[in-house]
Amino acid sequence: MVKTADNCGIITKCVGGLYTVESPDGIFECKARGVFRNKGISPCVGDTVELRDGVISSIGERRNCIIRPPLANLDQLIFVVSTCSPTPNYLILDKFIAIAEFKGITPVIVITKTDLADSSKIHEIYDSIGIVTLDIDYSVPETIEAVRKLLAGKVSAFTGNSGAGKSTLLNAVDSTLDIPTAEISRKLGRGRHTTRTAVLYKLAGGGYIADTPGFSTFETNRYDIIRKEELADCFREFEPFVSDCQFKDCAHVCEKGCAVLEAVERGDIHKSRHTSYCTMYEEAKQLKEWELK
């Protein structure tokens, strides 16, 4: 939830070392104390900060932070996925859901272009593991209202493949935002990047939202690095089965006596999710020690 004290504010924008801070006393543009730079600390959008004499003097403890784009203290990451143009990339989606789980951020899926193609497969995969998954139909106001209720009083980030309709959805949720949008490039099959930096927008109904650049060209380790030993904990549907694996250090990839693999065979874990896990596990195995540091 968004909380500020009288002498505190939240950073809503950062450009070239100049920070926009919204506080109960108004909106200020200010710089940060040089001591942060000396300590290798950079304030980022979403940080709760203390202001003194028009300068950021301290940064509150972060509940979480993603690296690129830099965003702190998120309550939820909302992944905008379109049914077509572009079609869903389940590996990329699962990578970012894993990052959200790793960071303690609630993942949410919002599906656009439901009038053009069926969304049932997305629901089949993610409804069963307890991830809120909403269809958007701009001719049905209730579907937009469901997103508004989801955002109220929270700090949320919208992300998704370019062309999936993030900015269009945000403008529908709150028409006062007037976030720039661009048409999809038919040649590339994806949209032009219309969002270049992370900015928090305040909603009339309370809370903040961040529109972030599309993640189609991003690597997961630009958000954070998940070690192979930690990856299974980021797939919530594995949890009921991991303690039943024959070996404590089971990788859940191809081992005999693996209860996770047995659950996949029974259909208790969706094969698409396990395939994503195996790909991510192999990628994590290739990480160098310097990357982990």
pLDDT digits (tens, 9 = 90+) for 55-97: 999 999 999 988 777 889 999 999 999 999 888 999 989 998 9
Whether residue 192 is predicted with pLDDT greater than 60 in this model: the reply is no
Lowest mean pLDDT segment, chosen from 67-76, 83-92, 192-201, 263-272: 192-201
Q: E strand or H helix at 200, and its extent?
A: strand 199-202
Q: Which of 102, 203, 120 is nearest to 158 (CA)?
A: 203
Of the candidates 112, 104, 47, the residue with the CA atom closest to the CA atom of residue 79: 112
Q: What is the pLDDT of residues 137-176, one digit of tens each?
A: 999 999 999 999 999 999 998 887 767 777 788 888 888 7
Please report the domains of the chain, with CATH numbers, ordered by start residue: 8-61 (2.40.50.140), 71-220 (3.40.50.300), 226-292 (1.10.40.50)
